[in-house]
Each structure stands twice: as structure tokens, then as C-alpha cells.
Structure 1
Amino acid sequence: MTDRTLDALDQISLADLDPMDLIAPNFRVYELTASEIASRLRVDNRFPGDRELRAAVNLARRVLQPIRNEFGRLSPNSVFRSQALECVLKNKPPGWLSTSQHTEGCACDIEIPGMSTLALAQWAAEFLPDYDQIICECFDPGAGPNSGWVHISLKAPGQGSNRKQLLTYLRDLQSGAMVYVQGLRGSVT
């Protein structure tokens, strides 16, 4: 186990990294690829290269660590997801390519037990200095304030400007379909 928290992103490489290495004050490398589904189904969810690893380390340092600093211990539901894991999760055939920012190491899904999903998304929008998207996903006020999760993405250095986009992905009560709506809110209207 090595403390890599002060290493520049371009100094971090899969070739010399241990899963237990610290890459942020409270995050280890293995937390960035942890997936219960991948483990249970024996799907390879390792980083394919340094680019994805460095993007995920950047996300851990600039998104996950500030959230952990504010709210205490949390483990992300998902950070990096391999193309193979995306195929399984989205019920797609092998060879299909996902465009999810998770496959680039640039996104995480989080929830904090006992905290409203909508409140967590609103906190992130107000207090994170930079982000590409914050999406309050699968939030259903009728199922309780902790339903769903918050998706937060951050483009890796050199990948362009972050959009600072706020969205909610929820069920439209009239049509029954899941829809994206602008802003962070508890209903389509």
C-alpha cells in the first residue's frame, strides 16, 4: 500500500499501482472499479488503460473526496464500468459499445443512506467547484426521499469544458415513461 494522494495524474500508472494504494485522502484504487454485479457474474471490470484510471482518480479527488469530507464515510455505487459490464447492465450483446461516461472513468453514482437523493444532488450542484453533469436518477418521491441515486460526472483534464448540466431522470406520471428533465426536481411538472 502506497500513499499516492499527492502524485500528479500523469505520474499514476496501472503498471505500478496496487489496489490498496491511496489515490485521495479517503479513497483507494479498488473503490474505483468495485462492482457487486461484476463480481457476482465474473465480469472483468478492470481499467483498460491509464487514461481511464487517471480520469477516475481525478473524479475521486475532485468529486468523491469533497462529498466524503462533508458527509462522512460513503462508498460509491459505481465509478468505472468496463464495456463488458455495461453490456451486462444494459442487456446488450457482446461488442455493443456504451457511450456512458462511466466507461471513461469520468462518472460516479452515489447515495448517502438517510439523506434525500434530491438534497445530495442539490448540495453537489452548489458546493462542487466543477462538474460536467449532476443527474438525480430514478428519484421517486413516493418511494421515499432516499430513492434513486446521484450521477456526477467530471471531464478528465484535457477533455474539454464541463457543461455544468443539471438533470433529473424520473418517471413521468402521465405517460409512465422514464424521462430526463432539466434541473434538479422531484417531479416532471
Structure 2
Amino acid sequence: MASKSLRELIAQADERGLAASGLACLDRCLPLLASEADALRPLWAGLVEGEDDWSVRLGEARETMEGAAVEDEAAALVRQMLGAAPSEWEADPLREWADDCSVAALELHYRLDSGHGDGEPAAADVVEVLKSCREGEPGGTGPLVAGELRRQVQILEILADAQGGVGLRQVLELSTEGQRVLRAVVSRRARVKR
């Protein structure tokens, strides 16, 4: 049986899967925003409770992130990802948010991929590449985008199969791995620019 594309997995996910998928994308991009690594811990903890805790924990995470410095366009996009999170624990708004976070995370990784240099690729090119990725055709991407795409798919597959906290622990581990990769890239680029 052929594996499902990222778009198909998002379309079929339930509320918890969508919230965790969007949160994991945001979590992996935190190194681009000069903020505490633990800023999203309340939200991760709240996912176990689901709708009962989501709105309150979201408010706590936003307060924590308000003090983070926004130094460039990438950091601003990460802040927007959290700002756009819906307070309602409902499939439609959560699906829209998870989908937007998926695209934003892939775009940020695309910008950082070493194969694209420091020049900004044309917006139309980025859109086409990311659309192909999300439809299951990741050709023309660098290692950062390929890794991010793989993590997004794995997370949604884990959440579709797992129950409760077990799946969320695996998702958090995958997300932490992605965060380490991005932190290393950001650190390396900062050293090169000095």
C-alpha cells in the first residue's frame, strides 16, 4: 500500500493529531526565534488533556513567547505561527493551523538549506517546491527540507496509530531531534557571518 502524502495525513487527522502536528512544526522552528527552548512545554503537557486545557495553555505559551526577540523575517514567521493557533479545540480551525504551520516550517527549512545559498529564491519557485513535497514528490529539495518533511509525515503517522501519551512522547522526541538539527544550522550560519 502506497504511503499517504503529507496533505492527505493532515486532511485525515483528528483534533489531537492536528494540534500536535502544528505544535511540533512550531517547536522545531524555535531556534530561529531567540527564545527559551521550554516555551512550548505547557502546550505539550496540555495535549494529553486535549480540549480541557488547550486554550489556557495556549495563553501561557503566548505570554512566555512575548518577550522573545524578533530579529528577522524568519523569527517573525515563527512568532506568527504561535499567534495564529486557534483557541478552539475544533477540527476545522486546528486543521487550517496545522496546514499553515506545515508550510511555514518547510519554507523556513527551504530558506536555510545550504543548496539555496544566501539569495532569496523566487516566491513562485518556493511555492511549487513545497507543494510538490506535500503531495509526496520531494524532488528538488535539500537535506533540511527532506528531513523536515520526513518528520512531519512520521509525526502524523504516529498520532494516527497511537493512543494518548505514548504517541505524544514519540512526537516530542522527533520534534526535539529536528530542533537540534535546526539549532546546529543556525549556529553554523552565525559563525560564518562573523
Q: Which has the higher helix share?
A: 2
| TM-score interval, smaller chain | under 0.3
TM-score computed with the length of structure 1 as normaliser: 0.27
Q: Which has the higher strand share?
A: 1
TM-score computed with the length of structure 2 as normaliser: 0.27
